[in-house]
Amino acid sequence: MPTSFDMHDVDVKKFMDALDSCKGNVYLITEEGDKLNLKSKLSQITGLLHLIEGGKLVEAKVICDDPDDESMLFRMNLFGKA
């Protein structure tokens, strides 16, 4: 069962680069409850554009199908690198 974590003030460029290395689906859950599959480039553009404020991701939840992807993205969120 996938778990989620909150992302705050993420470097969007690093985050999008990290998404390319993910093995499974990664979902962004917006404050409005929208669920966007970030493995899709169109969803990345659509979802991230309205969440970006000053070049940083303001706040969102991330859910990963693959536990390794979740671990990598969580470390990036916490330490600023994957």
The set of residues, in sequence order, having a beta carbon less than 8 Å from that of 27 and lying 6+ positions away, is 35, 36, 37, 38, 62, 63, 64
Interior angle at CA 1, CA 56 and CA 14, nearest 5: 20
82 pLDDT band, cuts 50/70/90, is low
Q: Map 11-78 to HEC letters.
A: EHHHHHHHHHCCCCCEEEECCCCCEEECCCHHHHHHHHHCCEECCEEEEEEEEECCHHHHHHHHHHHH
Domain made up of 4-79: CATH architecture:
2-Layer Sandwich (3.30)
The pLDDT of 7-29, averaged and rounded, is 84
Q: Which residue has the higher pLDDT, 13 or 40?
A: 40
Convert the pLDDT of each residue in 29-78 to its tens digit: 877 788 889 888 888 887 777 667 666 556 678 899 999 999 999 888 77
Look at the pTM and tell me if it is higher than 0.75.
yes
